[in-house]
Chain A
């Protein structure tokens, strides 16, 4: 069985069809590439062939490189030498370069053979880099297809010539959105942007490509960079105009990623160094940087978490084996606040009929209005058709009575975080819904088992921790109470899949997994303020470590009021073992001064009347004077990351997590744990259990028992084990 097949018709056009057997989407392997190479050789050698069309036998062209193949190549190189990896990438370059140069006239004047890419649907990664090496890219007009190079999103960059070619097509400034941000486009937008040459109706795609080949054959075709006097658009690095762009490029990428994305660094170097030399040398430069990037442990970790394991979780690896899930068509949401309306919107988008209720019809309607506003925003930005937005809105009905939920197979309660309130609502809901229906509670803190104690069918009761804002946050933390049954878990995971959230399943304990790790992290930052570490240092160090937002800003945004409430609850729960007095010193004082967070217009930061941050509150210095000797940046970074990773390890040790893959995916998607690292467990693997225990021991002496390494990690340090 081959990935590629070739046919030649009477007009002399060879059609190479990419159709990987047994897969719904083409992905590239080294073997597949060699097959393509052989067919290209055959067509080029055949005097009866005037040109080639490369197309797909599937609805889409290709999803990209098989990242498992890349992981395999890396393993091989790890045992041998990076040269095997570099050689593999140079092999890819040589094959694509052969395609690219096939259009040119031969040395003795023989006509070139033009090669067109006929793309029926999505073409991503190497699935777009192969067309880029062709002489014409013709796409079917299918608005749902995506064209582009999203590699940077999993920490890579386009390493099959996409970097070198796109820079020569658009210059650094023009190519930046596609290379540095991984922006992908639908075919029509891609044509407008110059990423593809022609859009045709799907049914004439192949014929259009053939016609182009026939019309072009004989005249010869060469890429601009294969012509004399080629100049880089926007200027090469040391030209007058290029100088500014390239200098600015480093600053912008550095600032935006806070230096925490090795892939962006390597990409920019590959671009810069390649822009100075000729095309073929630039491909070699690209391969050298790509090799280095692939060899980095952080790259492996990032691909593993953000691609392989994220997808595996989305495909339901945690779904209980053999569990059946009730067919869900109608979903009830009780509580139309921010979370409830967000969940309602997500469900309506996934084509569920949604009943959104609250204590009054006004409140329910306000919740629906909030969802409609979000949709309107997307319509305004052109991301959504107005008719689709209307259809989504129309699926949400509102009301103030639990009896409206009677036909729902799944009801998600999203009311105020209070035991009594939630218990009451659960009771009202259970009075109306069928005995088979699943009842989920959206909570970020309250123990599920305890809530389940007050419901009639604890086996059908489950926790769903949505993250705010629901329409933007990709994670769903599913919490299994002591008595939660497999059916409920399966239903929650099926629902997550429908609303396109990545689920993790954790066991029940105070704060579950995400908040269990986030709270010590935020507390650590607050302790630092109390210690006299410059608040700006705390914020910047967190960002340089890879956190998307400074922790003090997070505290402000989730509100200091909430932090105070949680602290008070925790204090009661913990009794004598309560260890957060240092944190309370800070947040209680801020709260006393009315600095309760962003929505209150004051917190660690000052805000203007529109609630925009104006900078850290200068009064912090008076309350907690900045000490003259500031710690090293490394020390601050390590404290902020380690406090999270240790807590994640404790969650693993305590059985809250049952799989480190979930721990890593959950951390990166849930609260933005340093994506470059692949998550807390991957981070611990990268620095090594031994080193992390050593670091933890040092911090324990300096900062207290919260840094005591859990047994699990200490054992790993002794045995030299790794999480992966």
Chain B
């Protein structure tokens, strides 16, 4: 088995995923191609070295359909000899792209991959690609399908996280993200999005609200109470799967859930030989990867078994990990992770997360890995674990080690 290394990791800033968001005017392939070009330029990459572009993307319809990975490669400076592979593991797509690349390198299938992902949520609405699991009664009824927000509220109910707990966590995410920006912690990795004239369109994550307070969040109305309690009544469906739960406590709202944003991230993954051959210096080694399937109604508990599985593969335990990035899909997902593993909150999501900066579905996994890597370097730590909950009851994780 060869070793797989991360040579570089960059991302775009995240724009609000609505028609008043700054990136709304930019196409998914354009945003992707510009990031590929930047990665190529920064590393003086010879396209003939690149085995594949593996690109995570969730809503693969319209401009994100038709193998966006290949479309993006063709729109970039990589040229026609670089193929592309669009993949979808929902929210972990960006991390899965890296894991796939790392594992292909380990197996000797290739030496150099560009992995990452993109999601233009302002242009291609979440859910517009359909989903048999939600719509086909054979699946939806047999598997007790509920939307993610209901699952997140179910986690909060079953594991005892109050509205206040979730709001406090959300406010902390904003505090940490704005501190990270004000201290310039993202500077080396965030690449401004520019138009074809070089004019900057967006240079910073625009969803962060530094002034966010627990009290202000306390004013927001729960987002999933109506869906759950009355129309069409998903709570009852969830309680059929979890019959000991009498009532679901609807604690999540727009302020303590990940925000909807646009964005892309790209990571250069390669073997040791690739580094030696090109003179590029590896920044970290991929130690272990994992993916798991879990119960799909509660849906979002995957990070726990995914973490255990990755640690097992690496022959490590929790004590070895210096830093955690746990995707802030919903506050309860992170709180549940902290509860299960008794993690010191100072070791986790230290520069904020998707609640503050946003969750561009297909890109987030790659963004989290980049953020973890930057923080390992900044804080001079060794080992980080990145994990995400995944729709339909899945989870994914990656352990990386500075080299």
B-side interface size class: 20 to 34
Q: Are A258 and B240 neighbours in the complex by a CB distance under 8 Å? A: yes
Q: How far is the CB of A615 from chain B (nearest CB, A)?
A: 6
Hey, what's the 0/1 contact readout for B230-246 against A, CB within 8 Å counting as 1? Answer: 01111011011001111
Q: Are B141 and A253 neighbours in the complex by a CB distance under 8 Å? A: yes
Which residues does chain A contribute within 8 Å of B245, judged by CB atoms?
536
Q: Are A272 and B243 neighbours in the complex by a CB distance under 8 Å? A: no
Interface positions of A from 238 to 254, Cβ below 8 Å from B: 238, 240, 243, 246-254
Contact of A250 among B145, B240, B247 (CB under 8 A): B145
Closest residue on chain B to residue A242 by CB atoms:
B135
Q: Are A248 and B231 neighbours in the complex by a CB distance under 8 Å? A: yes
- State in angstroms the CA–CA spacing of A584 and B250 once bound together: 37
Of B70-78, B81-89, B126-134, B177-185, the one with at least 4 CB within 8 A of chain A: B126-134
User: Is A667's CB within 8 Å of the partner chain B?
Assistant: no
A-side interface size class: 35 or more
- State in angstroms the CA–CA spacing of A391 and B130 once bound together: 57
Closest residue on chain B to residue A251 by CB atoms:
B232
User: Is A324's CB within 8 Å of the partner chain B?
Assistant: no
- Most chain B CB inside 10 Å of its own CB: which residue of A253, A255, A544: A255
Which residues does chain A contribute within 8 Å of B141, judged by CB atoms?
250, 253-254, 259, 265, 268
Task: Tell me the dominant secondary structure on chain A's binding face.
Answer: helix
Q: How far is the CB of A626 from chain B (nearest CB, A)?
A: 8
- State in angstroms the CA–CA spacing of A246 and B245 once bound together: 26
User: Is B25's CB within 8 Å of the partner chain A?
Assistant: no
User: Is B114's CB within 8 Å of the partner chain A?
Assistant: no
Closest residue on chain A to residue B134 by CB atoms:
A247
Q: How far is the CB of B159 from chain A (nearest CB, A)?
A: 14
User: Is A142's CB within 8 Å of the partner chain B?
Assistant: no
Closest residue on chain A to residue B146 by CB atoms:
A251
User: Is B90's CB within 8 Å of the partner chain A?
Assistant: no
Contact of A254 among B127, B134, B236, B247 (CB under 8 A): B236
Q: How far is the CB of A616 from chain B (nearest CB, A)?
A: 6
- State in angstroms the CA–CA spacing of A644 and B136 once bound together: 35
Hey, what's the 0/1 contact readout for A522-559 against B, CB within 8 Å counting as 1? Answer: 00000000000011110111001000000000000000
Interface positions of B from 118 to 147, Cβ below 8 Å from A: 127-128, 130, 134-138, 140-141, 144-146
Closest residue on chain B to residue A268 by CB atoms:
B137
Q: How far is the CB of B236 from chain A (nearest CB, A)?
A: 3
- State in angstroms the CA–CA spacing of A273 and B138 once bound together: 10
Q: Are B244 and A534 neighbours in the complex by a CB distance under 8 Å? A: yes
Which residues does chain B contribute within 8 Å of A633, judged by CB atoms?
243
User: Is A406's CB within 8 Å of the partner chain B?
Assistant: no
Q: Are A250 and B231 neighbours in the complex by a CB distance under 8 Å? A: no
Which residues does chain A contribute within 8 Å of B233, judged by CB atoms?
251-252, 255
Q: How far is the CB of B234 from chain A (nearest CB, A)?
A: 5
- State in angstroms the CA–CA spacing of A443 and B133 once bound together: 51
Interface positions of A from 13 to 59, Cβ below 8 Å from B: none
Closest residue on chain A to residue B239 by CB atoms:
A540
For the A-B complex with A251-B146, A544-B240, A633-B243 known, give 17 more contacts whose Cβ atoms are closer than 8 Å: A238-B135, A243-B130, A247-B140, A249-B137, A249-B232, A250-B141, A251-B145, A251-B234, A251-B237, A255-B237, A269-B137, A272-B136, A534-B243, A537-B244, A540-B240, A540-B244, A616-B246
20 CB < 8 A contacts A-B: A240-B128, A243-B134, A246-B135, A247-B134, A250-B141, A251-B233, A254-B237, A255-B234, A269-B137, A534-B243, A534-B244, A536-B243, A536-B245, A536-B246, A537-B243, A540-B240, A540-B243, A540-B244, A544-B240, A544-B243
Q: Which 9 A-B residue pairings sit nearest by Cβ, starting from the closest?
A: A248-B232, A255-B236, A536-B246, A534-B244, A540-B243, A250-B140, A268-B137, A238-B130, A537-B244
